[in-house]
Amino acid sequence: MSKTVTIVRNVLEANERRAASLKDYFAAHKILCLNLMSSPGAGKTSLLERTLVDLKGEFKMAVIEGDLQTDNDARRVAATGAQAVQVNTEGGCHLDSSMIEDAIGVLDMQGLDILFIENVGNLVCPAEFNLGEDHKVSLLSVTEGDDKPEKYPLMFHLSSVMLLNKTDLLPYVDFSLEAASSHARKLNKDIEIFPVACRTSEGLGAWYDWLRKARASKR
Amino acid sequence: MHELSLIQSIIDIIREERVKHGMNRVVRVRVVNGALSGAVSDALSFGWECLTQDGELKGVALEIVDMPLKVACGSCGLAFEPEDKHYMPCPACQEILGHDIQSGKELYIDEIEADV
């Protein structure tokens, strides 16, 4: 005899459950957790290097670095003096909540103000996996196309902030800050947009102010 | 590419439900995939084929129901089905911003058919 059973179970429920318990953990410890996402080479690690150095005196910060292979990024970040732990996904295209749980076990979370999670460079898959973060932050560089928010809508739809990096290269590329911003706002009208150049530090002040505000609201 | 991990989650859930409901051989599994879920139905089918080549789910049919995107206008509240996922002008008031997504984000296992 055959029978059909109605299940209705979310395919990502295991990840969602873990993400919810991470969110509780971050709330209880008053840690601001940010999930940083972009394509490979947009400047996630450079942004972190700048931020960790410039805000060193204000906040205690740590970084979880996600990459397919190597601990190159964790070493770059650790050179700023911040705590860093590398997660290698061994070919996986995104971080999931169980990887964050493991990484937190390695970090000293005592008195931490901000935890940055640098996701695997990829505009598609990381957006689907919540990690218990307070905000998703997406980074787009002007050497990519300004229609990226249109092509990869989910990530920009879910992000609280979009940073447009490498603005020092604007004279050499056909990238319109206005077009990229308007594509992103179509998906998410409240998204905060900050044009920055990590190489020259231009525009980073606005990003730091946003961080201060976000951090203050977790206290 | 993350469809493979999604299929692995689907297989884990099927295993749990099989035990819970005392099912023997699974015959068919139905999954609902929303237009905005980020998972591509073709890639899900392919992932299923790859991960069920052997073992207890070998030969089991995976049925995927594609759920269209439905939104309520951010300005006038009209419910409509946008033709385009990226540019969604409201047919009544032309508003393009702030729509509330009512369906299309879901990805869930709807039902399992099995011998008992």
Q: pLDDT at position A89, please?
A: 87
What is the per-residue pLDDT across B36-77, written as a single tens digit (0 to 9) for each?
888 999 999 999 999 999 999 999 999 999 999 999 998 999
C-alpha to C-alpha distance for B90 and A91, rounded to whole angstroms: 41
Residues 6+ apart with CB under 8 A from B58: B52
CA distances to A47, A172, A194, A198 from A51, in Å: 6, 26, 14, 9
C-alpha to C-alpha distance for A63 and A78, rounded to whole angstroms: 9
- pLDDT of residue A171 exceeding 80, the answer is yes
- pLDDT of residue B86 exceeding 80, the answer is no
**A17–B contact, CB cutoff 8 A:** no
A5 CA to chain B: closest CA distance, Å?
A: 5
Work out the number of other CB atoms within 10 angstroms of the CB of residue A39. 18
What is the per-residue pLDDT across B9-42, written as a single tens digit (0 to 9) for each?
999 999 999 999 999 999 999 999 999 888 999 9
Query: Tokens 């990887």 appear where?
Result: A99
Tell me which residue in B36, B38, B86 faces A150 most closely, judged by beta carbons. B86
> With contacts defined as CB-CB under 8 Å, which chain A residues touch B96?
186
Q: pLDDT at position A189, please?
A: 87
Stretch A1-14: mean pLDDT: 89
| Strands, E assignment, A155-196 | 161-165, 192-195
Q: pLDDT at position A84, please?
A: 95
* Residue ranges of A 27-46 with Cβ closer than 8 A to chain B: none
What is the per-residue pLDDT across A42-95, written as a single tens digit (0 to 9) for each?
999 999 999 999 999 999 999 999 998 889 999 999 999 999 999 998 878 899
Identify from B3, B6, B8, B9 which residue to disrupt to test chain A contact, counting A C-beta atoms within 10 A and taking the largest count.
Answer: B9
CA distances to A36, A43, A66, A122, A147 from A198, in Å: 15, 8, 20, 20, 21
Share of chain A above pLDDT 70, in %: 100
Q: pLDDT at position B76, please?
A: 96
C-alpha to C-alpha distance for A216 and A208, rounded to whole angstroms: 12
C-alpha to C-alpha distance for A52 and A64, rounded to whole angstroms: 13
Q: pLDDT at position A90, please?
A: 82
Q: pLDDT at position B116, please?
A: 83
Domains of chain A: 13-216 (3.40.50.300)
Pair A163, A137: CB distance under 8 Å? yes
Domains of chain B: 3-114 (3.30.2320.80)
Pair A67, A39: CB distance under 8 Å? no
Q: pLDDT tier at A178 (50, 70, 90 boundaries)? A: very high
Q: What is the ipTM of this complex?
A: 0.79
A11 CA to chain B: closest CA distance, Å?
A: 5
Q: Look up residue A112 and give its two tokens.
A: 């931490």
- pLDDT of residue A186 exceeding 90, the answer is no
Query: Tokens 């047919």 appear where?
Result: B91
Tell me which residue in A2, A4, A94 faces B111 most closely, judged by beta carbons. A4
| Cβ–Cβ below 8 Å for A11 and B31 | yes
Identify from A3, A7, A182 which residue to disrupt to test chain B contact, counting B C-beta atoms within 10 A and taking the largest count.
Answer: A7
- Whether pTM > 0.90 for this model: the answer is no
Tell me which residue in B5, B37, B108 faces A9 most closely, judged by beta carbons. B108
Q: pLDDT at position B1, please?
A: 64
| Cβ–Cβ below 8 Å for B112 and A92 | no
> With contacts defined as CB-CB under 8 Å, which chain A residues touch B112?
4-5, 7
Query: Tokens 């508003």 appear where?
Result: B95
Q: pLDDT at position A7, please?
A: 87
| Cβ–Cβ below 8 Å for B96 and A128 | no
Tell me which residue in B1, B17, B108 faces A125 most closely, judged by beta carbons. B1
Q: Helical H runs in chain B?
A: 3-20, 41-51
B38 CA to chain A: closest CA distance, Å?
A: 7
Question: Who has greater pLDDT, B101 or A20?
Answer: A20
C-alpha to C-alpha distance for A211 and A209, rounded to whole angstroms: 5
Instruction: Tally A–B CB contacts below 8 A.
Output: 92
C-alpha to C-alpha distance for A133 and A66, rounded to whole angstroms: 15
